[in-house]
Chain A
Amino acid sequence: MGPIYVLDDEPVIRYVISEALHDAGYITRDTACGAEVLRWLQEGKVPAAIVLDLLMPGMSGREFLQRLRENPAWADTPVVLVTGAVYADDTFPPEDSYQALVLKPFDLRELVCAVRNTLDDACFGRGGGRGVREPSGNSKIS
């Protein structure tokens, strides 16, 4: 099982999500920058799942998702979307581009549950067999 990437521009949220997932037994890696995650992917470090904030400065969550789904090498990576609000406009990504949606402010257990379900679906429901890699890094709040 690869690490779970946590992508959010809010350091506090990044921290609590990472900690909670860590407590639940997952390995995580977090950043505020979508471009950095893409770089990791290009280096071949494909995660088990990505927890993604929608509204971020720089590359938006929607833009990141689009880039993610474009490359066949990592297009199947499950994504849990975390957002403050759902707008019915073109800033929101298409429904089939993410696997779960969690609204802020969220209950941590609810979030961990969403991640776990998504990973289960990825392993069993959607054929599983996702490449299991050794974690290439594990960052905590600095």
Chain B
Amino acid sequence: MFAMEPLVLGRSFPIAVSKDSCLMLLSAAGVVEGWQTFDSNSTFLGYLPEDAEGWPLETLVGPPQQRQKIIDHESPGPFLVRGKGGTQYYVTAQRLGEGVLMRDVTRVTSEAEADRVKACCSVLDGAHDAVLVVNEAARVVFGSLQAQRMLGFAKGDLLGQPIAGLLPEFAGDFPVNGPVPLRTVRQDGSSFIAETRVTRWEHQAVTFWIVWLRDRSAEVSVRGAERQMERGFRALIGGVEEYAIFTLTPDGRVATWNLGAQRISGYRAAEVIGQHVALLYPSEARLANRPEQALEAAKRDGLFLEEAERLRKDGSRFLANVALTAVRGRRGELRGFTKVTRDVTALRQEAQQGNERSAAAEREQIRRRFVQIAAHEFRNPMAGVKGTLGLVRDRIASGRPIRSPEDLLDMMEREVNRLAELADGILDAFHTEDPSCPFDLVPYDLREAVQAALGPFKAAGTRSFAVDLGKDPAPVNGDVERLAQVFRNLLSNAVKYSSPGSTVGVRLRREQACLRVTVWDHGIGIPAQDLPLVFKDFFRASNLKGRDPGGMGLGLQLCRHIVDRHLGRIWLESVENLGTRVHVSLPRLEV
């Protein structure tokens, strides 16, 4: 207090006032004649001396009854008044000669009130919303932790802040009913939209206002986007014609229906919405509780897929490819189902026809290939026979001698035998493939079949043979001639695809309940990409490139048929340029 006694009144009185005070002189007409603040740049109630002096007090300070209390200074206050811009202040007033010494106690009051409400309000720190407690002077006396965070104030800095600074759009009229979106200013000047509610609170006979702020900016934009997406999505789905896309309620009734659903089923939306989805099932599926089972499965697993018949409105059926998905809310509660259905009737028919067509094409290709190979294979020995005949005829015609006619006859016989063998091979192959062709299965030693097959190859002497058949008997239940044929074919391949002088091997081993014969060579091998084809008719490896090993390409196919008929297994390992191993595994006969 810098007030001095006795007071000298008049415009020239120099009296020092503190920063929070103001000495006011009023004329009898109520016009402010003096408004002395701490210095000429200091304001009181928002007014500089030059702003206030010469103006009726009633234009500067309100409301009237509070203003009058200051003028009458019946009590020291504090009084709640409105100053410049409607900002509220707590002031005390004291008569000082002709003047009134006023003091702004807003902050002091706020702090005192803050202390008073602190204990009660600390519970608000836990609130999800930002909470401000505002006194009658519209100053913040409490700011929750969330409010500090949301508004960017350090602890304690919120105290005494005029609410008008934080919520500029706030008219200052309490209470605010219901949430109102208001622009809220952070300490750094940035702003956001907060959903604002204001409630009245009486505490120890003092009125406070509690301001609840909820930052909805993020949520609002997400929801907006969701809503927009949903609208776009609905439009998109509604227009899809290829697929029936519809939703079901949790109990399986149709909730939405798109164009595709109408096109595929024949039902219009109005006819089907509210009906149970079982309407779309054929009667036997309905009787078997298929609709309920599908819903249950989707509920249990999230997704249910099936391809089954469905019913159109006209009673006709179609093959439907169905995906049924359970839709759940945030807390996992079942909200309903989405169902995507596709009419695949035509697609499946086409696929079936396509398969039939490609199988037919394959058969035709095999037939053509067979004719080509057969023609070629028959032509070589025929050329030999025809050539020899021509030679003999020409020699006779020209009177030239025929040297070693026996050799020529032998040659022709060999060629004719080759032709017969070829014919036999073809017939064999076709016979063996015929399941009705009888096999003469007798118990015997597999080593005999291998030895029988080896004989002619050993005699030819073009390869050396490494034969390891073991000492133990190798009993099988088999057709001796057919099994010998298998090993003949395998040995023939081994010789055909290896170089003269190289080694070809045969090995027999007992393996648990089986006997395995392996025929190996160090020949040209088979390219990896051809391995899956080796057991097909007329197979020729792609690395032959026009080198003709002869034969019909039926050998391995025939072997597989024979081995299959013996309940055995045949497989092949090969590395190009290193060689090939063919394994034949047959059930061992338990003696």
Check if A and B associate: yes
A residues within 8 Å of B by Cβ? 9-10, 12-13, 15-17, 19-20, 23, 54-63, 84-85, 87, 91-92, 103-109, 141
B549 touches A57 (CB 8 A): yes
Q: Which residues of A contact B411 (CB under 8 A)?
A: 12, 15
B394 at interface (Cβ–Cβ under 8 A)? yes
- Report the bound CA distance from A63 to B407 in whole Å: 33
Known pairs A12-B411, A56-B548, A91-B546 / 19 extra A-B pairs, C-beta < 8 Å? A9-B548, A10-B380, A10-B383, A10-B384, A12-B415, A16-B391, A20-B387, A20-B391, A54-B546, A55-B547, A57-B549, A60-B546, A61-B546, A84-B375, A85-B379, A105-B382, A107-B386, A108-B394, A109-B394
Q: List 26 A-B contacts (CB under 8 A).
A: A9-B548, A10-B383, A10-B384, A12-B384, A12-B387, A20-B391, A23-B391, A55-B376, A55-B546, A55-B547, A56-B548, A57-B496, A57-B547, A60-B546, A61-B546, A63-B545, A84-B377, A84-B379, A85-B376, A91-B546, A103-B379, A104-B379, A105-B382, A105-B383, A106-B386, A108-B390
How near does chain B come to A129, taking the closest CB pair, in angstroms? 32
How near does chain B come to A93, taking the closest CB pair, in angstroms? 9
Selected from B379, B382, B387, B398, the residue in CB contact (under 8 A) with A16 is B387
Q: Which residues of A contact B407 (CB under 8 A)?
A: 141
- Report the bound CA distance from A63 to B376 in whole Å: 19
CB interface residues, B 356-396, toward A, < 8 Å = 372, 375-377, 379-380, 382-388, 390-391, 394-395
- Report the bound CA distance from A9 to B496 in whole Å: 13
How near does chain A come to B504, taking the closest CB pair, in angstroms? 15
Chain B interface main SS type: helix
A13 touches B380 (CB 8 A): yes
Taking CB as reference atom, which chain A residue is nearest B387? A16
A104 touches B394 (CB 8 A): no
B387 touches A60 (CB 8 A): no
Chain A interface main SS type: loop
Q: Which residues of A contact B376 (CB under 8 A)?
A: 55, 84-85
Name, among A16, A58, A61, A85, the residue most crowded by chain B CB atoms within 10 Å (CB to CB). A16
Selected from A13, A54, A63, the residue in CB contact (under 8 A) with B387 is A13
A23 touches B400 (CB 8 A): yes
Q: Which residues of B contact A105 (CB under 8 A)?
A: 379, 382-383, 385-387
Q: Which residues of B contact A92 (CB under 8 A)?
A: 546
Selected from A12, A57, A60, the residue in CB contact (under 8 A) with B414 is A12
Given A10-B380, A105-B382, A108-B394, A85:B372 Cβ within 8 A? yes
